[in-house]
């Protein structure tokens, strides 16, 4: 009996008391309400993770979708996730209102690709606004998750884990060498990100999904002459 007008954000904050997901503009403009939605793709047998504005997502649209909020990836009381820790240690959070949304956008990116490029990082964070910190410390901190390919052979630099070197370290050294400026953070203090330790897609949801797909409906053109499929009927696929 879900109210068809209820959004995911209202449900999380009012019904579940999960207030880590923030309400800012309520119209998809600020990204403070970002959560991660995970859906199983039957055609590719893979999971896809999306950073979504919960203020715009109707609760009824989330059938067989797993929702991950900022509380679900880590906390000060338990243990911070590297995405949460790095934004804090790189001074990327002041009032903190935008921070859960930025954390979840970055987390969704890492769940899809544990070694993203700087371009994809900027793209994933483009829907998140921050009014007080400024974007430099946020991007600098998260730059440590990214990798860059440097030579024509396609080899990565080799001064980091997994034969990859973070763009952040490289630029930090360059800036320090030029100006003698104090770096924003010491990347050596950061906990490594281990994609194998992330929460898995709920197995119960997976079995519900398989049952649902077996009994789903599709449009079939039964007369075969109508180009716009006006004379269609439902047919059971199984």
Candidates 26, 64, 65, 156; binder of ligand FES (CB under 6 A) is 26
- What contacts 99, CB < 8 A, 6 or more positions away? 87, 92, 93
- Interface segment toward ligand FES; rule CB under 6 A; list 30-38, 105-113, 156-164, 225-233: 30-38
Does 205 participate in binding ligand FES (rule CB under 6 A)? no
Q: Any contact of residue 94 with ligand FES (CB under 6 A)?
A: yes
Instruction: Verify binding: residue 21, ligand FES, rule CB under 6 A.
Output: no
In the set 59, 87, 89, 98, which binds ligand FES (CB under 6 A)? 98
What is the residue-wise DSSP string for 53-94? Answer: ETTT-BGGGGTT-EEE-HHHH--SSS---HHHHHHHHTT--S
Q: Is 31 in the site for ligand FES (CB under 6 A)?
A: yes
Instruction: List all residues 6 or more positions away from 224 whose beta carbon is below 8 Å from its beta carbon.
Output: none
Give the Cα separation of 191 and 161 in Å (integer). 12
Identify which of residues 22 and 147 has a Cβ nearer to ligand FES in the complex: 22
The SS3 call for residue 236 is strand
166, two tokens: 């973070």
Residue 185 main-chain phi, psi, to 5 deg: -160, 170
Q: Which of 83, 130, 147, 167 is the binder for ligand FES (CB under 6 A)? A: 130
Which C-beta is closer to ligand FES: that of 94 or that of 115? 94
Instruction: Identify the residue among 14, 19, 63, 96 touching ligand FES (CB under 6 A).
Output: 96
**Applying CB under 6 A, does 95 fall inside the site for ligand FES?**
yes
* Contacts of 15 by beta carbon, 8 Å cutoff, 6+ apart: none
> Which residues contact ligand FES by CB under 6 A?
23-26, 28-33, 53, 55, 93-99, 130-133
């Amino acid at each position: 009996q879900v109210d068809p007008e209820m959004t995911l954000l209202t449900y999380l904050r009012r019904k579940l008391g999960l207030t880590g997901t923030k309400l800012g503009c309520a119209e998809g403009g600020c990204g403070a309400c970002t959560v991660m939605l995970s859906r199983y793709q039957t055609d590719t047998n893979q999971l896809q993770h999306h950073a979504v504005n919960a203020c715009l997502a109707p609760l009824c649209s989330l059938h067989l979708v797993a929702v991950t909020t900022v509380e679900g990836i880590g906390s000060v009381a338990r243990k911070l996730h590297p995405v949460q820790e790095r934004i804090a240690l790189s001074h990327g959070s002041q009032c903190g209102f935008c921070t859960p949304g930025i954390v979840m956008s970055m987390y969704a990116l890492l769940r899809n690709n544990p070694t993203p490029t700087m371009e994809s990082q900027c793209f994933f964070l483009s829907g998140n606004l921050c009014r007080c910190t400024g974007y430099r410390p946020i991007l600098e901190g998260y730059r440590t998750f990214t990798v860059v390919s440097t030579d024509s052979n396609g080899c990565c630099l080799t001064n980091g884990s997994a034969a990859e070197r973070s763009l952040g370290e490289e630029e930090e050294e360059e800036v320090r060498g030029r100006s003698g400026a104090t770096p924003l953070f010491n990347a050596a203090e950061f906990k490594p990100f281990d994609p194998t330790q992330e929460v898995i897609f709920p197995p119960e949801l997976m079995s519900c999904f398989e049952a649902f797909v077996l009994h789903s409906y599709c449009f079939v053109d039964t007369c075969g002459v109508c180009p716009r499929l006006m004379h269609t009927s439902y047919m059971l696929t199984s």
